[in-house]
Each structure stands twice: as structure tokens, then as C-alpha cells.
Structure 1
Amino acid sequence: MLNFRPVVLMAVVSAVAGCSVPGPGGAPDGIHDPYEVKNRKVHDFNRNLDKKLFSGDGPGYAGTVPPFVQERVSSFADTVSLPQTVVNQLLQGRLVRATNNSLRFTLNATIGVGGMFDVAKEWGLDPDESDFGETLAVWGVPEGAYLEVPVLGPSTERDTAGDVVDLFTDPLKYVVPTPERYIGTVAKGLDTVGERSKFGGTVDSILHGSADSYLQFRLMYLQNRRYELGEDAPGADFDPLAVDTEGF
């Protein structure tokens, strides 16, 4: 029987997100952060959690797991995320990008040994990610307020709504049986840990060494996200990496 929950959830979340504030141009300095007090509390929680997980004396994921294995995990995580990317790009009306990612998935899932190797990139099909937050942006849903989400970190009302919908729009979840379907989730988690470890020095200098890591991460996230979506970024003349590491 057809499951209508994803469709209903999309409609509800889109409506809620659409009630948010206008785009970044309607806020001072292009940043709308009415929840700053609560956001800062969540940021402190995330920063303390990050310190416990990644600031130990050991070598960590990047120093323990061989680079070859890390690359295979990253490639597999990208491959299993492609069907969901295709769904979003179809909803965005981007048929060429959806077709390219369909080819990427087919090549990597077959010739690439179940996604372990990114052979599609060698054929000129570069990685191209998308999510329902981008779909909402294409549909004209405003960004809304800035949010810091527990564990997940910086976001916006629109992207948080998109993250909720993305929980239901992965086609693999409906065709891959349990427990095999969770292998992709684990791979995505390990890939995220690997990315955090790879850029550990830069992240540590901002998250644990800057005078106000909340403002730094907020600006960096909004700049990067709006650049991805082709929207106006705040503080275009500001270098978020040129931070004041004195304090705290």
C-alpha cells in the first residue's frame, strides 16, 4: 500500500516553513537570530560535546583509520545518499542534475563495487549533493530564523524543516530490508566523524579558541549555505577564519 506520510509531512513542513520571516535581506546585517539566547545554550552544549568526543589525547578517527578505509567509507556514504539527492533534484525540477546523479549511483553501485569506489567521478560525473532544505529554497520558502540544533549544529528554520522531511524521502529505506538499511546510516555517521577529524585543527581554533565561537559559526554557516543556494551571504567582506583566538 502506498505510504502517504512523506507527502503529508512535506506539505505540513512546507506550510510551517513558509510562515517564517522573509529572506535574509529583511534582517539587520542579513542575519535573523531571534532565538540567540536559546541558540547560545545549545551551542555551549554542542561545543562541550565536541570537546569530549574529539579533543582527547588519542589520535582519533583520522589518525587511527587508514586513509584507504576512510576513502571507501566516504565513497560508500556518498553512494547511498544519491537516491535521496535524485528525489530532491526531481522536486526542484533539475532534471539534468537528477539524471547525472542517477548515473553516478548506477556506476558506483555496480562498477564501483557497491559504492566503495567513486568510478563515476573518473567519468566526469562529479559529486553533487542536495537536500530538502534546498528544495524548499527552490520553491521560494524563506530561510527563516537561524537555529542551532543539538548535536547537528548550525541550521535555519528552513533547513531544519528540510532535515525532518529528509528522514522520510530516502528511497533506499523503503526497499532495503532491516538491518541492512542501517549500514548506510552508519557509513554517513563515520564519514561525518572523518570530516570533523580531517579539519580538526581549523575547527578547534574556531570552536574552542575564538572569543565568540557562536558568532563565528553562525556567520560561517550562513555564508556557506547561502553561497550553495545562490542567495546573498552576510558579511561578504569578512573572513570567518581570521578569528580572535584569545579568550575563553
Structure 2
Amino acid sequence: MTKFEAFVKRSFSISFIIAISLVNIGCSSTPEQSKRMPAAQINDPLESINRPLWVFTWEYADKYVTRPVTNAYVAIMPDFLRAGLLNMAQNLNEPSSMINNLLQGKFKAAGNDAGRFVLNSTVGLLGFYDPASDFDMMRSQEEFGEVLATYGVGDGAYLMIPVLGPSSIREEVGDFIDHSYFPIGDFAFWPGIFRRAIIGLEARADFGEREQIIDNSVDSYQFVKTSYYQNMLYRVYDGNPPILVDEKAEEELDEYLDLLEEIDEQD
């Protein structure tokens, strides 16, 4: 069996197992039905552990390690090289994004992911360049955690991962699956670490002025946690999260409008 045949067989096996699991999880719910469900409440049963980990992450690890290393990386590396390395790192996520879109029935998005991977891996020199964007094939990476959310799986407990930052049980499970896909699943240890470092450094470099917002917040831990869940909701709903309405306030408004209508009729 060739390596290509082994890859195809493994990919179909993983996809089949995931699909069966999602059918069992979703029961009779479809992705669209699940997406109409209201957002789950923030679940933080581990706050007594998460808070000290946040202090360590922000006040020590970021201040004395992550931030200085990121600043040095930005100062030393030429912009074109930074952009190229990040493109290469993100290009490796396209196959997993394709499968995750297929599992949600987003066939057009899956085709876009496949086209991006082929074009950027060939004409784009292993993803260093991004010619796919010139053809309006924009990057929109879908994670397996979003697949689980689509099928009604809740976030689970909120987690503060030391150094890495906020996460949740669902996102960690999703990341584990995403990293098992080709080609990331075939990476040796150090190439995988290098790829994650590139993505992490660029993410930290883009953080920018939000540092001051966190520092000036009344409760930085609560602010970061709330921001994390808002971002996850935004991603799960592809940039169009539902507008959650206070049912009690809505009932009071209806009663008030009915009262105005009665007054108008009396006049």
C-alpha cells in the first residue's frame, strides 16, 4: 500500500468514525436546528484553579517570556518572511477545515478549502504565498470544536491553559481531532512545535492595543473569559450569532404596547 493510499484510507476512516459519532450526538437534530438553540451559559466550575493560572499566564509568562519573544521576532524577521511562514503554517490547516465543513454540510466552503490547499501548495510554493486569495478563495478555517457545537455539544467547563490562554473542554477535544488530520498528524515533534510557535507568535503580535483594555478592566479574568465565549459564539455561527432576547423584558414590552393600543382605541 502506498503512502497516498494509506492517507486516503486513514482519512476516510477518521471521517466515518466522526460522522457516526455526530449522528449519535445530534440524534434527530440537524445542524441548522442546533444552531437555532440559545447559547449555553458560561460554565466555570474550575474558577478557583483558573484564576491563579490566569495570573501566572498574564502577569508572568506573557510579561516576561511571550511578549518579549514576540517583540524580538517582529523586530528581527522581515515582513515578507513573517507573512510567508504564517501562510505556510495556516495552509496546513486547510485539509482539516475541508473535512470539518463537510461534516456540517457546508459543501461550498469545503470545496473552497480544497481549492485553496491545492493552489497554494503548488503555485504558492508549499503555501508560502497565497495566490488563492487573488481568486477570491478566502481563508475560512473551520475547527472540529465548531462541528461539535453545530451538533449541539456544549462548551463544557471553561479552562485556562497556562501560557496558552482561555479554552474549553469542547475546544480541546476539537483541537485533538484537528491535529490528527493530514498533514499535521504526520508531522514530527519539532516541525509541529515550530508550526505552532509561528501561529502563536503572530497571534500575540496581533493582540496589540487589547493589552491595555485587559489591564484597565475591573476584573481581567472575567473580561477575558467573557470575550472568549463571545468569540466562540461568533465563530460557531459563522459571524452571525443569534440576538438573544430577554423573554421577561419582551413580555413587558408587549404588555406596554397593548396598553398603548387600548388607550388609542378609547381616544
Q: Return the TM-score normalized by structure 2.
A: 0.70
How many residues align structurally?
Answer: 222
1:198 and 2:210 correspond? no
Query: Pick from 219, 222, 227: which aligns with 1:215?
Result: 222
* Aligned twin of 2:254: none
Instruction: For 1:109, give the aligned amino acid.
Output: S
Task: Map 1:121-136 to 2 at 5 A.
Answer: 121-136=133-148
3-state SS, counterpart of residue 143 of structure 1: coil
1:88 and 2:100 correspond? yes
User: In structure 1, how many angstroms separate the alpha carbons of the residues matched to 2:148 and 2:70?
Assistant: 41
User: Which structure 1 residue ranges, 5 or more long, are not aligned?
Assistant: 235-248
Contact 2:22 2:151 in 1 (8 A): no
Instruction: For 1:196, give the aligned amino acid.
Output: R
Shift of 1:36: 1.3
Query: Pick from 41, 47, 61: which aligns with 1:36?
Result: 47
Greater fraction of residues in helix: 2
Larger Rg: 2
* Aligned twin of 2:124: 112
3-state SS, counterpart of residue 46 of structure 1: helix
Contact 1:144 1:156 in 2 (8 A): yes
- Identical aligned residues as a percent: 30
Contact 1:107 1:119 in 2 (8 A): yes
User: Which structure 2 residue ranges, 5 or more long, are not aligned?
Assistant: 1-5, 27-36, 245-267
User: In structure 1, how many angstroms separate the alpha carbons of the residues matched to 2:136 and 2:193?
Assistant: 27
3-state SS, counterpart of residue 93 of structure 2: helix
User: In structure 2, how many angstroms separate the alpha carbons of the residues matched to 1:66 and 1:111?
Assistant: 22
Q: 1:52 to 1:157 in 2, by over 3 A?
A: same
Q: Return the TM-score normalized by structure 1.
A: 0.75
User: In structure 2, how many angstroms separate the alpha carbons of the residues matched to 1:91 and 1:147?
Assistant: 26
Shift of 1:191: 2.6
Contact 1:46 1:150 in 2 (8 A): yes
